[in-house]
Amino acid sequence: MDLEEKALKRFWEQKDAIFLEKKELTDRFELLSEKIDALLNLKLDIFKENIKPFAPNKDGLLSKKAHSNMLRMSKTNDKKIQNIFGNAYNNELAKSIWFIWGSVSEDEYLLDQRFRIISNNYKFDDYNGGLNTDQSGQSTRTVSNIASNNYYFQFAKFLQVAKEDMNYQTAIDESKLVLTWENNKELLGSDDPFKESTKLLEKRFPPKYLWMWANKDTVLHPFSLMAFRNFVNSPFGGEILKDINPALEPPIITNMEFDTFVKQWKLISVSIFNKLGIDNNPDNSKNLSKLLSVIMVDDIEVNNSPTTDNTTHSKNKILNQIFFGPPGTGKTYNTINKALEIIGEATEGKKREDIKNLFDDRMKTGQIEFITFHQSMSYEDFIEGIKPVTEPDNESTGESLRYEVKPGIFRKLCSKASLAIAKLAGNQNKKENSNNSPEEKMAVVRNLTTEDYNDKQYVLIIDEINRGNVSQIFGELITLVEEDKRLGADEGLEVTLPYSNEKFGVPPNLHIIGTMNTADRSVEALDVALRRRFSFVEMPPKPELIAKEGKLKKDKGVLDGINLPLVLTTINKRIEKLLDKDHQIGHSYFLSVSTLEDLKATFQNKIIPLLQEYFFGDYGKIGLILGKGFFTEPGNMISTDNFFADFEYDDASDFAERIIYKIKSIDDMKDADFKEAINHLLRIN
């Protein structure tokens, strides 16, 4: 892929939209990260003594037969053996490592070459050998794969040792990770096949891959050999390699010895962050690695021409953006600050009341518009439509009714923005006034120079953008809102509107900010064409703001011994586990809490109703989140003999034995009982 620095910078700005559009790949990256963490935390010592009965060889390694025996024994009904191996072997080791190697999914052992980490050959003339697969998805050279031996314990151990940043020989000695050697014809005649095998393995990709992922908080970590190779083969990757060492070539960096690779890749990672102007922190390391993984294995169009300043405001290059997140994360709150920032108003250091007053003033002048999408919103409301108009009837004392084409909210704001540019351009149109038709205003805009674009900005805020039928509301404007399709851009476009038959284009000084509640409707439901034209800014819950900006900031978010940031964090972790992160609960629900009564009201009127909606009345799952302190004791079992009507039904006894959970009325709870319920929630004895 011909990826250049300017293209990667553009991708970085649009990463949220790319992650949403390429969900299959981003989900794999996230799942891979979870499995790496699980293996890093896996207590391998519990297997140490239990390995011996399964025929370890003289070097302390497990043969293929031993692993086969263990896999068979882990599925036995023998409780003792199940306790030793069971899920820890089948799920955390076997399935996890197959997935890391590149299997299609967690439950399929077919390798997908996009995800494989196996380098079949370290010779430069066979640089791409590790990506050869047949039609079934299996490797065509399985004998040279680590996968053929299934040394799961050694693989996991090497990952853990690699996190300590030890040298290769120490990592090998501690983990005993080897390449195929029992049946390897190249090594059968060797005096020390283990030594020969580990030297051969050193130049393969898997050990380096394990090291990168073990240290993923500090270095870049693509999710496959293909992603890695495509990146180092790209113009940008090659430029980075040359900056580090003029002698570096993609085959060399892939196949160099382990210890040298570790030193070089650290330098390369730092250089990439510096080139892109990105801070090297764990979040950015994860997101940049995920971005490189996605664009390097998928057919994402690379546009190496940078976004030019003649299509956007010099200080605000993103014209279209959407703030998305669960309820209560401050999406609408932050659109106010963002809108003022775009039009050049400073908000830093000002009180919220002053910021809101300034926002209201700009709303009155028409420089900022705020609307909310809903299911009844239409193209005619947003762009233009035929509307009834009444006027006095000269022939009677009543009024007559006629129909006119009226501009909608978006078209009106486009006209204002265009007229603002026209006025700034000088008296190019002597008829300039508020009654000019859109065609007259657009005629002026077409003759503007690039210097005219960087002055007065306009902002349209669309709250709950995903609640409307976006394709129907935007219509043909879905194309015109793109940055490079705005008026004055090299690829600028105009369309003929269907009602007025007038030419229309979107000016380059109009910004669109949308908000999207992910719990109300999944981000995936938003029109794909719209997602591609917007940059997405995630607004996740931030429990730390309760301690920093809430009413309890003097007490660091602690109320009567209750740590509110911890309460929110605990609830959200459980919601994510039982549902997903789109349905978490925002920090704003706790910002106004200053007393125990406030906290009780928040749970009674906000938190619990949200959970009831999320889980459709499944009170068992709600109980797993809140704990038993918020529930009444389950009632006694009811005999089917006298509860149900006289009717023969096979499952009647199951219904009778069903436990019915009921949530307590928090308003009726004593303060001490409520605090005890919170302790149960936090599992504090």
Asked whether the beta carbons of 399 and 388 are under 8 A apart, the reply is no
* 317 pLDDT tier (thresholds 50, 70, 90): low
Q: What's the pLDDT at 49?
A: 55
CA distance linking residue 513 with residue 565, whole number of Å: 29
Parallel, antiparallel or unpaired: strands 562-563 and 495-496: unpaired
Examine the pLDDT at 586 and tell me if it is beyond 90.
yes
Tell me if residue 114 falls in helix, strand or coil.
coil
User: Which residue, chain included where needed, has tokens 């008296």?
Assistant: 427
What is the average pLDDT across 510-514?
93
Asked whether the beta carbons of 623 and 365 are under 8 A apart, the reply is no
Each residue of 630-676: pLDDT tens digit? 998 766 555 556 677 878 887 777 777 777 888 999 999 999 999 99
The two three-digit tokens of residue 220, written as one number: 């870049």
What is the average pLDDT across 73-101?
58
Examine the pLDDT at 462 and tell me if it is beyond 90.
yes
Which pTM value belongs to this model? 0.55
What is the average pLDDT across 609-623?
90
The two three-digit tokens of residue 37, written as one number: 């963490």
Tell me the range of 138-142, 148-152, 504-508, 609-613 where mean pLDDT is highest: 609-613
Examine the pLDDT at 142 and tell me if it is beyond 80.
no
Each residue of 158-183: pLDDT tens digit? 888 888 777 888 887 777 776 655 55
Q: Please name every residue paired with 538 in a beta bridge, in sequence order, or none if there are none.
A: 324
Each residue of 486-495: pLDDT tens digit? 887 878 888 8
Q: Please name every residue paired with 201 in a beta bridge, in sequence order, or none if there are none.
A: none
Comparison of pLDDT for 26 and 44, the residue scoring more: 26
Q: Which residue type occupies 613? A: E
User: Which residue, chain included where needed, has tokens 């077919």?
Assistant: 110
Each residue of 436-458: pLDDT tens digit? 555 565 566 556 554 555 568 89
Nearest to 681 by CA among 631, 616, 618, 610: 631
Each residue of 332-388: pLDDT tens digit? 999 999 999 898 888 877 888 999 999 999 999 889 999 999 888 899 999 999 988
Percentage of the chain modeled with pLDDT above 70: 72
Nearest to 470 by CA among 511, 413, 531, 519: 531
Q: What's the pLDDT at 18?
A: 82
Q: What's the pLDDT at 504?
A: 86
User: What separation in angstroms does the CA of 288 have from each of 19, 21, 95, 223, 233?
Assistant: 11, 16, 27, 11, 17
Examine the pLDDT at 545 and tell me if it is beyond 80.
yes
Examine the pLDDT at 616 and tell me if it is beyond 70.
yes
Examine the pLDDT at 131 and tell me if it is beyond 70.
no
What is the average pLDDT across 605-628?
91
Q: What's the pLDDT at 364?
A: 92
